């Protein structure tokens, strides 16, 4: 019996004990007997759990968090013509939530309706599934009034053809702009963005913006993206250099890209772009391209490699280095 077990273990694929599949790690959305509401306003610290927030086509911030020290957990937020969650407090955690069908305008005239948006400021978004938004899955800070940090981990950020008609969009139309879009104050301390172990796909459709990207990283930002998987996108990383509102610093570690026109689109002579161990699968047109200027001395790209099959990576996670 012991010899048989050893033989079985010998033929199993090697996997790091620390490896985990990209995307959500545990069930998202409501648990049994959720509280059904059409809007949720959070004005006091605490844990808010197991709400089914069905906006029934209403606009605005369907869940508005204006208090500090708030956790929003195991909620489903859906069917709005506005934003799913607006964050206006600090020390806010949003985890294990499903956010979907936030659709404003029409497919030919899409208007912003984001999954989660609001102010920078010690915000954590963990183990969430966000889909079918006419704006971005995540956008911080549209008002450009805040500084701070946002951590996004173990999330599934995606769009695709709508399974049914919804709020002015027809069945089969694919809404959305970016999985993540950053806006900041133009100078001073940089906002800090960390994204790790996420799965981002489907950002590859006609939109109001001219270039659709999974990550649109720009302005006065310091961003680090690690162990993320990108598939079926027009652009995986759109990283943008100095402009009137500053330029992003971006570090990409151990990510993989599949079926994408441009893997990394570097624009406007970006000051700092560090790429380590970026893996490319089939269907990638331009791996790394520079637009509106050539590479600068702050550009580093090491360890480029071939990606494993997408199905394998989604199942087993990233192999040990």
Q: What pairs with residue 180 in β-bridges?
A: 138, 215
Residue 168 has pLDDT above 80, yes or no: yes
Strand partners, 229: 199, 256
Is residue 117 reached through a cis peptide bond, with omega within 30 degrees of 0 on the bond before it?
no
| pLDDT at residue 16 greater than cutoff 70 | no
Any domain includes 21: no
- Tell me whether residue 61 is in a domain: yes
* Mean pLDDT (the chain, rounded): 93
Structural domain boundaries, residue 179: 29-313
What are 143's two structure tokens?
């008002």
Q: How far apart are CA 269 and CA 3, in angstroms?
A: 59
Give the angle 201-70-191 at the CA atoms, nearest 5°: 55
pLDDT of residue 144: 97
Q: Is the CB of residue 59 less than 8 Å from the CB of residue 81?
A: yes
Handedness of CA 79, 48, 179, 305 (dihedral sign): negative
For the chain, how many structural domains are there in total? Answer: 1
| Predicted TM-score (pTM) of this structure | 0.93
pLDDT single digits (tens) 240-283: 999 999 999 999 999 999 999 999 999 999 999 999 999 999 99
Cβ-contact 321, 295 below 8 angstroms: no
* pLDDT value at residue 210: 83
Given a cut of 50, whether residue 15 has pLDDT beyond it is no
Query: In this predicted structure, what is the pLDDT of residue 5?
Result: 40
Q: Is residue 321 part of a domain?
A: no
Q: Give the chain's end-to-end CA distance (angstroms, integer).
A: 33
* pLDDT interval class at 100 (50, 70, 90): very high
Full DSSP string of 242-283: -STT---EEEEES-EEEEEEEEEEEES--SEEEEES-EE-TT
pLDDT category, 3, cuts 50, 70, 90? Answer: very low
Q: Which two tokens stand for residue 33?
A: 């007997």
Higher pLDDT, 18 or 304: 304
42 vs 29: CA distance, rounded Å:
18
Residues 87 and 69 sit within 8 Å (Cβ to Cβ) = no
Q: Provide the pLDDT for residue 205.
A: 79
Residue 297 has a pLDDT of: 95
- pLDDT at residue 284 tops 90: yes
pLDDT for residue 19 = 78
Q: Assess if residue 23 is contained within a domain.
A: no
CATH of the domain at 209: 2.160.20
pLDDT given at position 208: 64
Q: What percent of the chain has pLDDT over 70?
A: 93
Report yes or no on 4 lying in a domain: no
Q: What is the pLDDT of residues 102-148, one digit of tens each?
A: 999 999 899 999 999 999 999 999 999 999 999 999 999 999 999 99
């Amino acid at each position: 019996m012991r010899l048989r077990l050893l033989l079985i273990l010998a033929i199993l694929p090697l996997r790091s004990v620390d490896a985990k599949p990209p995307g959500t790690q545990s069930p998202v959305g409501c648990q049994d007997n959720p509280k059904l509401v059409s809007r949720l306003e959070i004005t006091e610290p605490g844990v808010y759990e197991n709400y089914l927030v069905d906006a029934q086509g209403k606009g605005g911030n369907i869940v508005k968090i204006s208090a500090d020290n708030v956790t929003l957990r195991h909620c489903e937020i859906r069917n709005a013509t506005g934003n799913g969650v607006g964050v206006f407090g600090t020390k806010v955690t949003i985890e294990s939530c499903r956010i979907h069908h936030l659709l404003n305008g029409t497919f030919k005239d899409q208007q912003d309706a984001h999954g989660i948006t609001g102010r920078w400021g010690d915000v954590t978004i963990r183990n969430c599934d966000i889909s079918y938004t006419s704006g971005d899955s995540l956008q911080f800070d549209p008002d450009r009034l805040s500084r701070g940090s946002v951590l996004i981990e173990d999330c599934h950020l995606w769009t695709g053809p709508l399974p049914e008609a919804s709020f002015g969009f027809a069945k089969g139309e694919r809404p959305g702009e970016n999985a993540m879009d950053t806006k900041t104050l133009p100078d001073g301390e940089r906002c800090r963005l960390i994204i790790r172990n996420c799965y981002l796909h489907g950002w590859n459709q006609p939109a109001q913006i001219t270039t659709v990207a999974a990550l649109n990283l720009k302005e006065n930002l310091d961003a680090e993206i690690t162990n993320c998987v990108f598939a079926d996108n027009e652009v995986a990383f759109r990283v943008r250099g100095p402009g009137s509102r500053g330029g992003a610093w971006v570090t990409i570690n151990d990510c993989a890209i599949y079926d994408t026109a441009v893997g990394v689109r570097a624009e406007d002579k970006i000051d700092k772009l560090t790429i380590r161990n970026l893996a490319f699968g089939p269907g990638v047109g331009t791996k790394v391209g520079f637009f509106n200027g050539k590479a600068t001395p702050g550009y580093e790209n090491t360890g480029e490699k071939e990606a494993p099959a997408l199905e394998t990576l989604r199942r087993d996670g990233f192999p040990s280095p």
